[in-house]
Structure 1
Amino acid sequence: MKEFFLSNNKVDCEQSVHLGSGVWWVGFQDETSGLHCNPYLIIDGDEAVVIDGGSRPDFPVVMMKILETGLNPANIIALIYDHYDPDLCGSIPNFEEMINKPDLKLISSGFSHTFIRHYGASSQFARIADLNFHFKFSSGRTLEFITTPYCHSRGSFVVYDTRSKILFSGDLFGTYDKDWSLFYSFPDGCGVQEPCLICAAKAANCRLKSYKDFHRITMPSSRALRYGLAKIKDTPYEMVASQHGSILDRRSALMLAEKLAQLDDIGIDNLMPEER
């Protein structure tokens, strides 16, 4: 897995990127804002699903990358959204228009559906609880839905693809970082102490700080973050694909999870004086 990340750290992000087992990154690289959004496409035979499809402004780029894979949009059978923010859901009407099928499913939590309706969605709403927290392709390939409440929305969840062993983690494991690459593996020894001597020796910014800062801002509390991390701890993923930031190998994700779980200054416990 480490060799995979080392060999893919300079991929062309202007094109769709195959992660393996029919999973594609079809995201948008925003070099100015530092907030990178990562929609994903899973193709299984003549069926496909899109995870966290992205914002309305990003839709032309996302759809172009989907078409690059050779997929007919009419083969998309479901849109999955782990929460209701516009950077995920803003393009729902655009997807519905391109896919143009009455039985298209829009999968999320019941809580998130309450807000997703306000994007003008017309697809069949399917709650993850009503699906018994999993989705099956016709081939039997299974996506598991693991709830991570208040990470960062009450209805948040992650998606685990049992075939590719990729965990689509939503805002968990995300980061706000202009020093971005699609794939990232923390250097061995990174995070053992602060400031990080490993990164300092390489004259590089330690990206662990940007991951911590992102979670301090986007997660409501340390308790919620720890609970969400505990829910996915035993998932046998090999790769973590977040909605923001870089795709991480298992070793890096486990190290990062350990460091995030140690933070006490998350959300409400990290207010600036002017916010109190």
Structure 2
Amino acid sequence: MSSVQAFPNRNTPPSNVRPSDSQITDLRLVPVEIAPDTFWVGKRDPGNIFYANPYLRRFRGTDPKTGRPNEFNLLIDPGSSSDFAQVSTKVTSLIGGLDRLSAVFINHQDPDVGSSASIISARYAPKAGILCSEDTWRLIVHQNLPRGRFIATEKFSHGLNVPTGHRLLPVPSPFCHFRGAVMLYDPETRVLFTGDLFGGVTDVNAQGLWADESDWTGIRAFHQIYMPVNLALQRVVAVIRKLEPAVEIIAPQHGRLIRGPLIQTFLERMEKLPVGLDIMDEAQDRSHLQAWNAVVERVMALARGYLGQSVDEKLMGSTELAETAKVQNGQVSIQRLGRWTVEHVVELLCHGEPPEIAGPIMMEATTAAAEYNLPTPHLDIEGNGVASNVSLLAG
């Protein structure tokens, strides 16, 4: 294994990035080096609260078999086909073209994680292998991926030797959130690529790529919506703690990246976080109605700042809302099914609104629920209120 070449202080930006870059860099246009030869190559649209994080890892070294200089370019969680143009532009700026990709790693089968892999492999990177678990492959192969290029992570439980003298470690994270999810650890840079684990929704006002304490609310919300049960989280947290050398950067597929003391802080919280099945019954508990009413009051107050009197028109147009709440004098009083009612109110308010309006309303519901220790409302964070067909899944 190569010697570790980590940044001296993970609480500061990489040495080749000025401290103010997180404020002045347009993340829509440029890749960002998060660790040596490790780049975020994603997309950021103003106003959104949910986005994906593809990464490029460039390996440069000597092929142990031939003794000749060699390169190996790995694209990690390449993202949605809708993000392909921006991701490909950033990757090309770093390595000269997608045809120089050696492999694509995919954590799990969700379209936002890797649906662009079919475009990349079919047209732009004819020699790139596709590295994922067998469970993931059984599903993504139906996206017309070339069967002959599949590389199963199960074959490398003790590590994968890169033909540059480097080493990577696939780390299974079962049921976080998919049965066949696999993280990828780079011991040299100490970056752990976690897929959906530690992903989150992000406040529209957040700057840069690096998480701070405020990101926990969005991480909590994402996990309570998408992760099945706390036991799965407990198991994977234990695995992460055992990785050597210790992890210095957690690079999730959504939200912002985690480093420094926040890693241990968020690991401890994740280990105890109730999610999915743990909170389904609690969501219907009448004892929470007072707290849910406080949530909806905050949501309504924020929405009025954006939408004015149209708030009343949006709510009065729903026949379903009358079944669980009273709407009088512009106020909503929840009578039963607190979480579902909040979800429905947010749906009505965000319907047809642009991301710069829908995003803050959703984040207010998410933040308020976290502050009152309530289960996260199941919001349409991926649709983010855009277009006319916004729907929420009632918990």
TM range (shorter): 0.7 to 0.9
Distance in 1, Cα, partners of 2:134 & 2:255: 27
- Pairing 1:225–2:249 present: no
Report the secondary structure of 1:9's partner residue: helix
- Pairing 1:115–2:139 present: yes
Could you give the per-residue CA deviations for residues 199-248 of structure 1, whole angstroms, max 9, x where no partner exists?
Answer: xxxxxxx3322211111111100111111111111221111111001011
- Pairing 1:30–2:45 present: yes
Unaligned runs of 5+ in 1: 188-205
- CA spacing shift, 1:124–1:54, aligned 2, 3 Å: same
- CA spacing shift, 1:59–1:104, aligned 2, 3 Å: same
Q: 1:71 aligns to what?
A: 96
Distance in 2, Cα, partners of 1:208 & 1:72: 36
Q: 1:42 aligns to what?
A: 57
Q: 1:13 aligns to what?
A: 27
- CA spacing shift, 1:30–1:270, aligned 2, 3 Å: farther
Q: 2:375 aligns to what?
A: none
- Pairing 1:238–2:248 present: yes
Report the residue type matching 1:49 in the other structure. L
Distance in 2, Cα, partners of 1:172 & 1:112: 16
Report the secondary structure of 1:233's partner residue: helix
Query: Rg: which structure is higher?
Result: 2
After superposition, residues 106-185 of structure 1 pair within 5 angstroms as 106-122=130-146, 124-179=149-204, 180-185=206-211
TM-score w.r.t. the length of structure 2 is 0.61
Distance in 2, Cα, partners of 1:58 & 1:185: 22
Higher relative contact order (CA 8 A, sep 6+): 1
Could you give the per-residue CA deviations for residues 77-107 of structure 1, whole angstroms, max 9, x where no partner exists?
Answer: 1110010000012111211134342x42111
Higher helix share: 2
RMSD: 2.0
- CA spacing shift, 1:75–1:81, aligned 2, 3 Å: same
Q: 1:191 aligns to what?
A: none
Matching residue within 203, 227, 249 for 2:259: 249
- Pairing 1:262–2:272 present: yes
Report the residue type matching 1:92 in the other structure. A
Displacement of 1:133 in angstroms is 5.0
Identity of aligned residues (%): 24
Distance in 2, Cα, partners of 1:268 & 1:89: 27
Report the residue type matching 1:186 in the other structure. D
Q: 1:198 aligns to what?
A: none
Report the secondary structure of 1:174's partner residue: coil
Distance in 1, Cα, partners of 2:158 & 2:45: 33
Matching residue within 4, 26, 34 for 2:13: 4
Q: 2:212 aligns to what?
A: 186
- CA spacing shift, 1:114–1:182, aligned 2, 3 Å: farther
Displacement of 1:126 in angstroms is 1.1
Distance in 2, Cα, partners of 1:231 & 1:17: 28
Distance in 2, Cα, partners of 1:209 & 1:27: 22
Q: 2:374 aligns to what?
A: none
- CA spacing shift, 1:124–1:135, aligned 2, 3 Å: same
Displacement of 1:185 in angstroms is 4.6
Asked if structure 1 preserves the Cα contact closer than 8 Å seen for 2:51 and 2:255, the reply is yes
Unaligned runs of 5+ in 2: 1-9, 61-70, 285-339, 341-393
Distance in 2, Cα, partners of 1:91 & 1:184: 25
Report the secondary structure of 1:241's partner residue: strand
Report the secondary structure of 1:184's partner residue: coil
Displacement of 1:37 in angstroms is 0.3
Could you give the per-residue CA deviations for residues 142-195 of structure 1, whole angstroms, max 9, x where no partner exists?
Answer: 1111111000100111111112111111111111123444433535xxxxxxxx
Deviates more, 1:147-156 or 1:43-52: 43-52
Deviates more, 1:127-136 or 1:23-32: 127-136
Q: 2:7 aligns to what?
A: none
Report the secondary structure of 1:94's partner residue: helix
After superposition, residues 79-94 of structure 1 pair within 5 angstroms as 79-94=104-119
TM-score w.r.t. the length of structure 1 is 0.86
Distance in 1, Cα, partners of 2:158 & 2:104: 15
Could you give the per-residue CA deviations for residues 25-60 of structure 1, whole angstroms, max 9, x where no partner exists?
Answer: 100113333111000001113320100000011100
Distance in 2, Cα, partners of 1:104 & 1:4: 31
